[in-house]
Amino acid sequence: MQKRWTLKKYQPNKEQQLQAALKIHPLLCRLLVQRGITKFEEARHFFRPSLEDLHDPWAMKDMDKAISRLEEAFFRHEKILIYGDYDVDGTTAVATVYGFLKGIYDNIEFYIPHRYREGYGVSYQGIDYAKDNDFSLVIALDCGIKSIAHIAYAREAGIDFIICDHHLPDAELPDAVAILNPKQADCPYPYKELSGCGIGFKLISALAQKKGVPMQDVYCYLDLVATSIAADIVPMTGENRILAYHGVKQVNETPSAGIRALIQLSNLKEKLTTSNLVFVIAPRVNAAGRMDDARKAVNLFIEKDFDKAYAFAEMLHGDNLERKGIDMNITQEAVSIIQNDIALHTRKSTVLFQPHWHKGVVGIVASRLIDKYYYRPTIILTQSNDKVAGSARSVSGFNVYEAIHQCKDLLENYGGHFYAAGMTLKPENVAAFQQRFEDVVAATIHPDMLIPEIVIDTEINLSDLTPSFYNIMRQFEPLGPENLRPVFLARNLTDTGYSKIVKEEHLKLSVKQSNSTAFSGIGFFMADKFDIVTSKKPFDMVFTLEENEWNGNISLQLKAIDILPSR
């Protein structure tokens, strides 16, 4: 798949000023400036995140109302229901708030809606459960900000809601006793990008202050907060960076029984990073809701006994293995459909429908098709009872939600955001929807958007890549949106004669640049670049830098992203 390389702009004056203050490699200063860090004090906060720099939870709009309503419930011994979404952010949020409240109050339960029977967010079924079981207060986590009708229905049943949500509010808000969401236009809270679990963490922080509970009883949930931040792809800036930094530290030093069980089952031996949380821990947690019931994920997180937690972790591990098999089969089916239909080859979008595909993995399949096969806006549809349901994923720069909005007359329901969305429609409208969506995409997408973009932080010489350079760069962790792993471009590389193809599809590299020492590298699924590397002509390479350990020896290794002949 052809890719386009985009080099970020440099700001030499700011880089020089920062370099004068920090006395570190100029290119490290360039990376910091690109991340919005231009002063010594900002760099200090970046490299040494402190829990003391967290904002006062009471600065969040309605926090006083939320705590007041909770204390009223404690005094009256009301039944409280902790309600959350079925993904990683929702289940970690429920486990965090439930776990803390359970330590100071007994009359409490949790509720996770079933993905297929109830769908996303606050459900009427969930409210009926609260009504039938005499719950008078519900704390909704990672959902609720758009549930106007549902909250009104709960009000009529005498049930109050405290909403802790981080999704963008509409102009009209639900009639809840308190809404904790920094994205409200009139909320003065300084940091707007918390995860749903992060907002739950703020709620228990304020409650701990109010009741004189030691903050350590709140900080013990930081491993769950860090997992939510990593998995929900929120910006790794400000408070999120502080929470994730200390949460990842806890994951490595004193993880909860549930996290420890997942680490053990995953055979992770190295020190964990946010990348491990995203690609190893999160899929197992998400698999519970995708394949079955996400309640087991909460049970895993709140379980104190390791052996019992391990049993829950095994269930999640099994769900994930099943998910991977189904996901792989559907992806192969989807690729086969496109390959065998010439009309689909030249389309600007992919919209595929098979009634037997598993609803829990259609979003993953859409992402996989874009990443590995056909880089274009993609929708995967399946049959769900008498309706067709699907997930959409987009490519960089293209608003897939707006494209779907232009097909709204063919849809029963839809929702989402710029890069991902979901929809339901009648089976008889599928063909018309496929054509309309294609027409909209073809008319509005820029041709460049159909070529994957690699955003490069800076050009670099291999001679700059020293252990001391890497040791400082490693302190950029935790990594995530707005603080991604640095991507480098090295020009005019040559093969040392030792590069080779391994396992038929990967490229094992040995390269140098003018008079530099040789560097080893790996290019996964890049065997097709072997001829460029071994042509005896210079080539350019985009890569990230990592450590490689082999037989007890640790060395720097280039992880190739793309390779082109030098111009």
C-alpha to C-alpha distance for 241 and 534, rounded to whole angstroms = 42
Q: Please give the DSSP secondary-structure letter assigned to residue 524.
A: T
Residues in the chain predicted with pLDDT less than 50, given as ranges, are none
| pLDDT recorded at residue 551 | 77
Residue 204 is encoded by which pair of tokens?
């228990």
User: What was the pLDDT predicted at 377?
Assistant: 97
Burial of 270 from C-beta contacts in 10 A (0-12 / 13-18 / 19+):
exposed
Please tell me the total number of residues recorded for the chain in this structure. 567
CA neighbor of 384 nearest in space, from 123, 127, 119, 120: 119
The Cα 129–Cα 81 span in angstroms is 10
Q: Which two tokens stand for residue 355?
A: 């009634």
pTM of the full structure: 0.91
Q: Match 């039938």 to its residue by tokens.
A: 132
Whether the Cβ atoms of residue 49 and residue 483 lie closer than 8 Å to each other:
no
Q: How far apart are CA 564 and CA 160, in angstroms?
A: 60
> Using the 8-state DSSP alphabet, how is residue 529 labeled?
G
* Concatenated DSSP letters of 384-414: ETTEEEEEEE--TT--HHHHHHTTGGG-SEE
Given CATH 3.90.1640.30, say whether it is the number of domain 57-317.
yes
The DSSP output letter for 277 is I
**Rounded Cα gap, residues 359 and 287, in angstroms:** 12
Q: Render the burial of 271-286: b for 16+ CB within 10 Å, e for the rest.
A: ebbbebbbebbbbbbb
How far, CA to CA in Å, does 481 sit from each of 7, 35, 237, 239? Answer: 17, 10, 8, 13
Sorted by sequence, the CB contacts under 8 Å of residue 365 that are 6+ apart come out as: 327, 330, 331, 334, 357, 380
Number of H helices, E strands in the chain: 22, 19
**Structural contact between residues 548 and 500, judged by C-beta atoms closer than 8 angstroms:** no
Domain extents in the chain: 4-9+454-565, 57-317, 346-450
d(CA 8, CA 260): 39
Contact between residue 140 and residue 164 where contact means Cβ atoms under 8 Å apart: yes
Residue 260 contacts residue 309 (beta carbons within 8 Å): yes
CA dihedral 254, 256, 261, 264 (to 10 degrees): -20
Distance CA 416, CA 394 (A): 11
At 458, list the tokens.
């800076």
Structural Rg of the chain based on CA atoms: 25
Find out whether 182 and 189 touch, Cβ atoms under 8 Å: yes
3-class DSSP assignment, residue 6: strand
Strands 413-416 and 420-425: antiparallel
Distance, in Å, from the CA atom of 527 to the CA atom of 560, rounded to the nearest integer, reads 11
3-state helix, strand, coil in the chain (%, to 5): 45, 20, 35
Helices (H), 293-421: 295-302, 306-339, 342-345, 362-372, 400-405
In CATH, the architecture of 4-9+454-565 is Beta Barrel (2.40)
478 upstream amide cis, omega within 30 of 0: yes
- Residue 496 Cα to chain centre, angstroms: 39
CA 468 to chain centre: 30
For domain 346-450, give the CATH number: 3.10.310.30
